[in-house]
Structure 1
Amino acid sequence: MGKTTIGSEISASLSRSKVAHTFLDMDALAETYPRPPDDRFASRLALLNLRDVWTNCSAAGSRNLIVARVIETQHELEEIRRRIPNSRSTICQLRASDETLIERVRTRELGSGRNWHEARAVELSRSLQRSAPADFLVDTEGRSPLDIADEVVARINWVTES
């Protein structure tokens, strides 16, 4: 369970409440081959896609955007904000113990890159705790995705009017 799972649960909760929204996973917006040589992780491409998808979704009536993304720095947050002008953002940081993070990686990474992903999950968690921008934190330890999503939904002031 991670950011995409929780984002999907938040989306389902908002749908049940009839709150107009769009859920986007930034990793999916970067999935392309070949990637630009000067954009190894396709971050710039993902930001361009974010802008264009949100433009289309908001024109279709969406009023809230849920973005599953690791945001390590204020600069990364500003890059997202530049693509979504005239919006306000709320950053939720999900937290779990190192042991839980490693277990979650083991359930989804079955190939030869699993050791790298385990080490990266712990490294990233420590980096986020030190310096990542966040409006609030949610402890995910021992909790269901639905319970976590319910907390996030309750803590954000969603746009409900047209």
Structure 2
Amino acid sequence: MDNFVGSIFLNGTVGAGKTTVAGCIGRILRQKAVAHAIIDLDSIRQAWPAPPSDRFNHELEMVNLASLVGNYADAGVEAFVLAGVIEDATEIPRYRKALGGRPLEICRITADESVLRTRLNARHQNDPDGLLWHLNRAVELENILVNQSLDDFVVDSSDKSAEVVAREVLELAVQGPLTADCTRNKCILRG
């Protein structure tokens, strides 16, 4: 964990804990004196209206990410932690390019469906329409991510604190995707 310099993409469905884990990784890297930036990809693509051909404003996200990375790098940032979603393998080279060619480890954060429901209910307790959309999207997106299998490793956040998940992600990112507990380039950590 002390040697981490690179980029981690925290991939996962809504409610998996990507943004919370990214914040914890940031605290750990700060304690280790690693110059880093945490980028919540949802926040850099929030604009309305989205073009009809790009309902999630992905193209805006990519342009903004490249600009942010350049600015952060100019300020001395060495490590990047991205929280977002990669649904398609063709996007991975685009993220690497936006990161200035830096190495990129992709970690899927996952959680049991019951845990996702609990988290989303808490997040959208005053937004029933948003809750319904996110509950449906959570299942749809998890299925897409499992089928695409784009990740270097997978960490289950169902029964662990975000701090524990963050430490596991960093340990796996430093080791790389091939460890004694890995098969077929996938590390699956379960409570």
TM-score, normalised with respect to structure 1? 0.91
Q: Separation in 2 of the partners of 1:127 and 1:104? A: 20
- The equivalent of 2:91 in structure 1 is 76
- SS of residue paired to 1:81: helix
- SS of residue paired to 1:22: strand
RMSD in angstroms over aligned alpha carbons? 1.5
- The equivalent of 2:55 in structure 1 is 40
- The equivalent of 1:129 in structure 2 is 146
Aligned-residue offset at 1:39: 2.8
Q: Which has the higher strand share?
A: 2
CA contact (8 A) 1:93 1:138 kept: yes
Equivalent residue in structure 2 for 1:59, among 74, 78, 82:
74
CA contact (8 A) 1:71 1:132 kept: no
Q: Does 1:5 align with 2:20?
A: yes
Q: Which runs of 5+ in 1 are unaligned?
A: none
Residue type of the alignment partner of 1:95: T
Aligned-residue offset at 1:105: 0.9
Equivalent residue in structure 2 for 1:107, among 112, 122, 146:
122
CA contact (8 A) 1:24 1:65 kept: yes
Name which of structure 1's ranges 105-114 and 21-30 shifts more when overlaid on structure 2. Answer: 105-114
Q: Separation in 2 of the partners of 1:93 and 1:36? A: 28
Q: Separation in 1 of the partners of 2:49 and 2:132? A: 25
CA contact (8 A) 1:9 1:149 kept: yes
The 1:93–1:70 alpha-carbon spacing in structure 2 relative to 1, beyond 3 Å, is same
Aligned length, in residue pairs: 158
Residue type of the alignment partner of 2:139: V
Q: Separation in 1 of the partners of 2:85 and 2:154? A: 13
TM-score, normalised with respect to structure 2? 0.78
